[in-house]
């Protein structure tokens, strides 16, 4: 069960990153070209939000079944244990919270440019944090 969730979490991460980059690129192009914030733009950013949340749910399940997560005082002394126990999950949660805030703020705005700007800022910061704490050395394909 653990191995299946690990492969799902690692494989889905590529898709989530691709979707988030796509959402940011789409918002940037529409912002630069002064296009209106349409239902299509809202749905496109919603896809990024949903993908990030699904990845978070799978990660939370993995967190509690993983043998790499050791709840002990010694875990903070080991860099990899600290990464799996604290740094990776906390940073990912903060990144996904930022993405959620960006979607909520963009959904309710009136000014089209400001709506795109909120997506660019919040999704960009969320993606930055996500990229910052991916365990690259343990990631398949790297």
47-91 pLDDT tens trace: 999 999 999 999 999 988 877 676 667 767 777 778 888 889 999
Given this model, what pLDDT does residue 139 score?
63
Residue 112 contacts residue 35 (beta carbons within 8 Å): yes
Residue 30 contacts residue 41 (beta carbons within 8 Å): yes
Domain ranges across the chain: 2-138
Q: Quick check: 114 pLDDT over 90?
A: yes
CA distance readout (Å), 76 to 84, 91, 112, 126, 136:
10, 16, 46, 25, 19
Residue 91 contacts residue 130 (beta carbons within 8 Å): yes
The helix (H) or strand (E) run that includes residue 30 is: helix 2-32
Q: How far is it, in rounded angstroms, from Cα 66 to Cα 23?
A: 31
Mean pLDDT over the full length of the chain: 90
Q: What is the pTM of this model?
A: 0.90
Mean per-residue pLDDT, 136-140: 68
As a whole-number percent, the residues of the chain with pLDDT over 70 amount to 92
């Amino acid at each position: 069960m653990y191995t299946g969730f690990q492969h799902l979490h690692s494989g889905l991460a590529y898709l989530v990153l691709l979707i988030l980059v796509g959402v940011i690129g789409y918002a940037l192009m529409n912002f630069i070209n002064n296009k209106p914030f349409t239902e299509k733009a809202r749905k496109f950013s919603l896809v990024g939000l949903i993908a990030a949340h699904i990845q978070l749910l799978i990660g939370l399940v993995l967190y509690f079944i993983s043998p790499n997560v050791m709840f002990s005082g010694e875990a903070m002394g080991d860099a990899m244990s600290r990464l799996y126990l604290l740094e990776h999950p906390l940073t990912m949660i903060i990144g996904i919270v930022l993405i959620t805030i960006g979607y909520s703020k963009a959904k309710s705005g009136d000014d089209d440019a400001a709506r795109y700007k909120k997506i660019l800022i919040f999704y960009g910061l969320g993606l930055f944090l996500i990229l910052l704490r991916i365990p690259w050395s343990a990631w398949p394909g790297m």
